[in-house]
Amino acid sequence: MNSILLLAQKEFENSKSDIFPFIFEGHQYWLKKARETKPDILQYFFYKFFPFELLIPPSRKNKDEALKFESTKLGELHKLGINVPNIVVKTDKYFVLEDSGLSINTILKDKNISSDDFYFYVDLVIQELAKIHGFGCFHGGTQLRNLTFKDNKIFFIDFEESFDKDVDIKTLQYRDFLLFLLSFTKIKELTFRIDYERIINRYLELSKNFQFKTKLIAFSKKLSFFLCLFKKDFIKNRVGSDVKYFFELIEILISMEKNAK
Ligand SMILES: Nc1ncnc2c1ncn2[C@@H]1O[C@H](COP(=O)(O)OP(=O)(O)O)[C@@H](O)[C@H]1O
Ligand SMILES: [Mg+2]
């Protein structure tokens, strides 16, 4: 048995966390335990009433299936030349990844980040996302916390989610993009406004998924009733900033249609 496997095994047995870092020979690694994936009941419920791509429930997988799915996908994307961390140990209970740096979410949430730096990272991320999509793949968990930055490169992590075979790849790529956009609404620390239109246009340009713009506008229009509600002061003043930023994005998406006319 090689020594990283010995250490990983010890860490696996002693840790209660599902995913955690450890150091081996001066380098950081991440151990991820097998765990089942299942959509929550609430998501099923909402999906019945609001069949938006964003809410498509992921497939249920037992521990073994989930581990096999994620590690296989990491291997396949790596072969395609997409930046994902290398798997250095794999057993039937867990796998160990090389460290792929700091989460993009953490980097972008820095209140001192300049707008130039912000878009430097965002553009890199969009390039990588468009690259995955260009290969006819999807990520499944494109929130900013599942993207990392190391050695001037963006890496993708967290590939657990899978979907029914009937869901077509463009739908999953659109879901990726929507998840990605929505994850920006969680950033509250910036001194400047996020230019969503810039982000959207850059992605469309690189991915050539131009039809997503129409889909985004249609998505936001379906929510226009809620947007009207939200604009009522007695609601607006009561909701958290997540909801506020979410509706800000919806408003921007709706206005994109007007700009396009
Ligand atoms: N290879 C890695 N390099 C750097 N950070 C990692 C790595 N793997 C996991 N992480 C960190 O651990 C967090 C959780 O890992 P992730 O695979 O996203 O699990 P979960 O399914 O619980 O979201 C990530 O958001 C990231 O901060
Ligand atoms: Mg994650």
- Matching fold, domains 3-98 and 102-260: no
Distance from C-alpha of 2 to C-alpha of 37, rounded to nearest angstrom: 30
Given the CA of residue 85, which atom of ligand 1 is nearest to it? Answer: 1
Domain spans of the chain? 3-98, 102-260
Question: What is the pLDDT confidence band of residue 260, given thresholds at 50, 70 and 90?
Answer: low
For residue 58, pLDDT beyond 80 = yes
CA distance 133 to 127: 10
Closest approach atom of ligand 1 to CA 100 = 3
pLDDT digits (tens, 9 = 90+) for 15-28: 999 999 999 999 99
If you measure from the C-alpha of residue 156 to the centroid of ligand 1, how many angstroms do you get, rounded to a whole number? 9
Nearest residue (by CA) to ligand 1, atom 27, is 103
Q: Is the pTM of this model over 0.95?
A: no
Answer yes or no: are the C-beta atoms of 176 and 140 closer than 8 Å.
yes
Q: Which CATH class is domain 3-98?
A: alpha beta
Residue 147 C-alpha to ligand 1 middle, in angstroms?
9
CATH code of the region 102-260: 1.10.510.10
Q: Say if CB 203 and CB 130 are below 8 A apart.
A: yes
